[in-house]
Amino acid sequence: MISQLGEWAERLVRLVGYTGLILFPALIFVSVYEVVARYVFNAPTLWAFDLTFMIHGALFILIGGYGLQKNAHVRIDVLSTRLPKPVQHAANILTYVFLVIPAVWIVTDAAIRRSISAYQTGEVELVSAWSPIIWPFFVALALGMAALCLQSIVETIRHLTGIIKGR
């Protein structure tokens, strides 16, 4: 049962990560378009800066859970690799349970609330001359953080299983 839930969760995290990867060509297009418009035609756009920071931020956050799933995140393990495997698993469990999951959950909750508020009020980016609506960006942040939280829970269960099975 837990194994099936873990597989389902990891598929969902992968889907969110792949959604983030779809934004990568959009980021390239917006950046190239702005460079050509600005330097070739001397006609800079009003919207490129805003789209660039929103797409880049969404891309970064949406692939966070997938990065954790693939163990592609930065980790300082100079000391932990010298410890016995059960101690490594226990340290990881404590880190996830008492630091990572609570922190990510708080940020996820805030992002969800902010997304809803921005949608309901029609909030726009106030420091921009273009003033785009901001809720899609906040939704991407909430989705990415939720995927990271879900993957953190899966990693905790994986380390717990490592202790139980002695791996």
User: pLDDT per residue over 26-36, tens digit each?
Assistant: 999 999 999 99
Question: What is the reported pLDDT for 72?
Answer: 87
Give the Cα separation of 3 and 7 in Å (integer).
6
**Average pLDDT score over residue span 64-91:** 87
Domain count along the chain: 1
Higher-confidence residue of 4 and 54: namely 54
Containing structural domain, residue 145:
2-165
Give the Cα separation of 30 and 26 in Å (integer).
6
Neighbour tally for 26: CB within 10 Å? 14
Neighbour tally for 118: CB within 10 Å? 19
6, 37, 56, 63, 73 from 60: Cα distances, Å: 23, 26, 6, 6, 12
CA 138 to chain CA centroid, Å, is: 12
Asked whether residue 58 carries a pLDDT value surpassing 80, the answer given is yes
Share of the chain above pLDDT 90, in %: 78
Eight-state DSSP code of residue 78:
T
Model's pTM, two decimal places? 0.90
Do the Cβ atoms of 37 and 43 come closer than 8 Å? yes
Question: What is the reported pLDDT for 132?
Answer: 95
**Average pLDDT score over residue span 129-139:** 94
User: How confident is the prediction for the chain on average, in pLDDT?
Assistant: 93
Task: Name the band, by pLDDT with cuts 50, 70 and 90, for residue 79.
Answer: confident
**Average pLDDT score over residue span 78-93:** 88
Question: What is the reported pLDDT for 56?
Answer: 95
Task: Name the band, by pLDDT with cuts 50, 70 and 90, for residue 166.
Answer: confident
Question: 126 in helix, strand or coil?
Answer: coil
Comparing CA positions, the residue from 64, 57, 4, 55 lying closest to residue 25 is 55
Share of the chain above pLDDT 70, in %: 98
